[in-house]
Structure 1
């Protein structure tokens, strides 16, 4: 009798838990989890140097300069539009930039949930979405707002539409979103191309080629509409050439850089291939499912883009997580049922996953006690020191913590110095219309002609990549001869020109 009662209660509980997994409640849960994990990082000066560069580019746009005109970075303009919009609406607010980044992560996870519900149960879809938040927010420099966060949201929204609808207007809408994704991060052109080839192949296979070609035309029109809209403001200002060089030609030149090689991507590409291949081999993933094939096609496209770039940073993987987590969650769900005695261990592991967040909560509380501010990091403390001690701000060179330009309201010394490492990427100079031809020439121009009154570096770290011996030899000797170390703020070194 007791056993029967327990079974009845368990069935009712499971039925209730499935009913509450409608999209509104799921979105609420995902927002709460995303904000909780990412909240303590709202107050950090910078989490990844790329995010700092995006902020500078966004501020320049707010100031009236289109991307690539005053400052320059190797990303399409929609990346900078996100930051420009937040800055225009909320001013110079780390909090607003990171808060809306958290909402973006939650929305990406929601679309992941929506896609997964078309293939598997709501329970499996829910956990795939939860882990989508985890993997887009933890383990490295993912707590900031990266271009990968933005482009992945647009792509997963487009794929959700393609899962649900088969009408021309919806393919057009998906094309608009795919265009936004590519105009945020150019490598997403590879999965877009793979999707197009897949729909063409499917049309041949199912003998509905003209129907699929019609859909592809609608999708292509939507895609081109987005791309041309990003070109329009440049065309109106007579700057179409710099749009083309910065968005198309520069990324191709970057992929041929001296530190890039397809072989470096093999650990990542191989791991994903083994995981998905094992799922197929052991029949944990349904190889006959059209939806699964679509996910795999997207994954293959993204992996091909990594191979072409010859480089995989940790934040690049943000693009993969939604599309990989769904089939992996389905595979795990088919494994033998986890007995009750292991559930406390699983719950404990789930609680421990956001350990980075717990440590950062402790960090901001400590900073509040010591410095009377939740906002922390040398990118904030160094500019504060400079202002308090009335040091030069208009002619300053941040070789590290370059978010300091934004805090102080000034620009980098040259266009090539927008992101400090771009000084050494001389293969990009022709595409940013830089008058200097080599990185050393650019560095000498900054030090000998611009002559920064203040230079900021980082303690215990070479100013340039340790492989770039010529650059470091030059700057070290120059600092020793022409500058003195005025102060050390945290790990920030403040040099003043003699």
Structure 2
């Protein structure tokens, strides 16, 4: 999506995915300046995490002490970047790099003008990750309430207005290019209507959502009863409101994926560290040399990845490892078709090969089965099965990449999985297995 923007196509016009435009703008800006550089993207991802952690430190220092800020920041780095898929650059990482400085300005500001800057940062956050909108609304209401609570009516109106104006200004600026092209409706559908349709169609059961809420409810009830947090502290109140906003976002969204918690961790960790600092057991712990050893063990998963990178350099002569690189490399080395290619997995391969997905819906493989989203980018097909049949039977990709021994689509997409498995078995053969990917070639018919 970012590459398409660099080439002159606004998001949603040539390709389509379910993210607000600032997410794509960030990637487009990196690509425009540094070219197709995974190193640049990862470095900026590290910068986003560092920026989030820095303002976690600043807020922790403002709320309690420098020591609390330091430990909250260290914990933020760990939980935002060191484990599993979180090592990749996600929209949540970008969102929080805007959100946390915006929140810090709200806590720190004593004058009206900085609230405009806070609003601008929050606008960038919501245009990066739309579900943060509820959190921004909660904070705006609390900002107004906290001023009128002190009978500062004029200040309440001015501060809230500037905060809201900053958010709206960023939203309008993302609309402007579409307005100038006469394509306002596509922006509205893609940025607002599609996420609402997605939320309505893809929800967890209340039992699946409950554990996170029960654990947090128990934590806050315990801290209130034991007086481990000063709930009268305005800065802590802001953090609580932000946390409630994120939890309400999860509830409205109907699901909590692991990477969604990136939006919760920075604020929550500040309060958790404060509570830990007041528990007598932790007060009695004295520094021991083996603590350093334990501390160095935290990024163990990253160490394993460094080993994989070095091993890949020795075996294949490149630091870039994984199917996102090895599959495109195999395709290029064997002169396979890259114009008519379909990735059901490892779809970063389109970018590496300078290729395009066969249809807008195939920009992200999972979108093929999200037929509730088709109306919002005027997809000619109305159902997932129609889209899949069109791709396989009309476009007929010559090369197809799938994940070995794994379903093509989610397990809930039974009909689509049944169709694609049967179609691939009849019309394609496995040309090669590259790590955990299978590269299929279309059979030639007489």
TM range (shorter): over 0.9
In the other structure, the counterpart of 2:358 is 413
- 1:82 equivalent among 26, 29, 36: 26
In the other structure, the counterpart of 1:456 is 401
Report the Cα distance in structure 2 between the residues aligned to 1:290 and 1:216, rounded to whole angstroms. 16
In the other structure, the counterpart of 2:229 is 285
Tell me the CA shift for residue 484 of structure 1.
Answer: 1.1
Residues 1:426 and 2:371 are matched in the alignment: yes
Tell me the CA shift for residue 272 of structure 1.
Answer: 2.4
Within a 5 Å distance, the mapping from 1:15-414 to structure 2 comes to 57-336=1-280, 337-339=282-284, 343-414=288-359
Report the Cα distance in structure 2 between the residues aligned to 1:164 and 1:341, rounded to whole angstroms. 33
Alignment partner of 1:75: what SS?
Answer: coil
Tell me the CA shift for residue 178 of structure 1.
Answer: 0.8
Tell me the CA shift for residue 263 of structure 1.
Answer: 4.2
Q: Determine if contact 1:140/1:314 at 8 Å carries over to the other structure.
A: no
Unaligned 5+ residue runs, structure 1? 1-56
Query: Cα distance 1:260–1:427, how it changes in 2: closer, same or farther (>3 A)?
Result: farther
The Cα offsets for residues 307-340 of structure 1, whole Å up to 9 and x where unpaired, read as: 0011111111111111001111111111225446
In the other structure, the counterpart of 1:467 is 412
Report the Cα distance in structure 1 between the residues aligned to 2:211 and 2:359, rounded to whole angstroms. 37
TM-score (norm 1): 0.87
Residues 1:481 and 2:426 are matched in the alignment: yes
Tell me the CA shift for residue 103 of structure 1.
Answer: 1.0
Q: Determine if contact 1:71/1:418 at 8 Å carries over to the other structure.
A: yes
When the two chains are superposed, the root-mean-square deviation of aligned CA atoms in Å is: 1.3
The Cα offsets for residues 17-41 of structure 1, whole Å up to 9 and x where unpaired, read as: xxxxxxxxxxxxxxxxxxxxxxxxx
Tell me the CA shift for residue 259 of structure 1.
Answer: 4.6
Q: Determine if contact 1:200/1:213 at 8 Å carries over to the other structure.
A: yes
Query: Cα distance 1:299–1:113, how it changes in 2: closer, same or farther (>3 A)?
Result: same
The Cα offsets for residues 282-309 of structure 1, whole Å up to 9 and x where unpaired, read as: 1111111000000000000000000001
Alignment partner of 1:495: what SS?
Answer: strand
Tell me the CA shift for residue 270 of structure 1.
Answer: 2.4
Q: Determine if contact 1:162/1:174 at 8 Å carries over to the other structure.
A: yes
Moved over 6 A (4+): none
Q: State which drifts further: 336-345 or 305-314.
A: 336-345
Q: Determine if contact 2:203/2:253 at 8 Å carries over to the other structure.
A: no
Report the Cα distance in structure 2 between the residues aligned to 1:146 and 1:276, rounded to whole angstroms. 29
TM-score (norm 2): 0.96
Report the Cα distance in structure 1 between the residues aligned to 2:196 and 2:139, rounded to whole angstroms. 22
Q: Determine if contact 1:279/1:328 at 8 Å carries over to the other structure.
A: no
Report the Cα distance in structure 2 between the residues aligned to 1:429 and 1:335, rounded to whole angstroms. 53
Tell me the CA shift for residue 267 of structure 1.
Answer: 1.6
Q: Determine if contact 1:263/1:310 at 8 Å carries over to the other structure.
A: no
- Name which structure has the greater RCO, CA cutoff 8 Å, separation 6+: 1
Count of equivalent residues: 442
Alignment partner of 2:245: what SS?
Answer: helix
